[in-house]
A and B are shown apart, each in its own frame.
Chain A
């Protein structure tokens, strides 16, 4: 009994230290510059892609894009982009690399963009997309839970969304997240 109390007393001195350590851990997490406090986790992960059917960008030859194109047994990247989106320009070389070097199937959804501007964008920077749909009203974007461009989804062969990249793909996300996940899902 007496030793129990003595032990309790000694542990009591550790209590402020433990509280301080917890506070430090919280600050390290909260002030970490690589954490984006505005990022909202996607509600779409592990859910089937929403039903949609989009026409091609006006004035471009192409088949358009619909949900059934994403259920063909092949892993697909679906990239939401627009010519008015500055980070999309930063991301574009990585999309080209994924499409040409990695031979990844990449589909694009042109979000609330004027057709002429979208065509000019693709003519200037190159077109990495196997299929392109034009979401002129932004309604398909809402169905995917998109709230800021660019956003890129990795869809598995069964048409299930497995990952969402918020903001532009860069070298690090490409190497550490996107390539490994595509490799794993393609098995």
Chain B
């Protein structure tokens, strides 16, 4: 019975999410700690690049988490903390980079491509409506010949089934 409970406990422990933030990193002030957690989720870990420092187990991520808390303790605003990190690591350190000329392609590129595509489709339909492909009507002579041919087929060419 005890072995079963132990096995179950271990199973649950494996399933539980691996928290990167260690208890010794946390601030005593819950408000400040909450701000630190929110900020940490917006800051990229430079080592594991697609993970925020909040959930990364890299050494550098831990150092940056501690740094964020230190800055908050010193009275920095959230923006000041971000600016501090951007000054050292560039915009890449933020998951949501600022809108500025260097990031215009990033922010507006996809919308531009959609607009280009929509423009192309619009142009195609506008052009088609302006000069729809008109089928030339048959001349009198052509019509007569068509009727003759049809009559011929009906009479002699068709084979009995």
Contact indicator B88/A40 (Cβ below 8 Å): no
Please give, as numbers and ranges, the residues of chain A lying within 8 Å of B92 by CB-CB distance. 40-41
Interface of B, secondary structure class, is helix
Chain A interface residue count, Cβ-Cβ cutoff 8 angstroms: 16
Contact indicator A147/B47 (Cβ below 8 Å): yes
Closest chain B CB from A137 CB (angstroms): 8
Cβ of A10 under 8 Å from chain B: no
Cβ of B38 under 8 Å from chain A: no
Cα distance A40–B85 in the bound complex, in angstroms = 14
In chain B between 78 and 101, which residues have their CB closer than 8 angstroms to a CB of chain A? 86-90, 92
Please give, as numbers and ranges, the residues of chain A lying within 8 Å of B89 by CB-CB distance. 40, 43, 145, 147
Extra pairs beyond A40-B92, A142-B67 (12, CB < 8 Å) = A41-B90, A43-B87, A43-B90, A44-B88, A137-B63, A138-B60, A139-B63, A139-B67, A142-B60, A144-B88, A145-B88, A148-B47
Cβ of A143 under 8 Å from chain B: yes
Closest chain B CB from A58 CB (angstroms): 20
Contact indicator B59/A112 (Cβ below 8 Å): yes
Please give, as numbers and ranges, the residues of chain B lying within 8 Å of A41 by CB-CB distance. 90, 92
- In the A-B complex, list the 3 residue pairs whose CB atoms are closest, starting with the nearest: A147-B46, A43-B90, A145-B88
Contact indicator A142/B88 (Cβ below 8 Å): yes
> Could you say which of A43, A137, A144, A148 has the most chain B C-beta atoms within 10 Å of its C-beta?
A43
Contact flag A147-B90 (CB < 8 Å), given A40-B46, A142-B67: no
Cβ of B64 under 8 Å from chain A: yes
Cβ of B153 under 8 Å from chain A: no
In chain B between 34 and 58, which residues have their CB closer than 8 angstroms to a CB of chain A? 46-47, 49
B63 interface neighbour in A40, A44, A138, A145, Cβ under 8 Å: A138
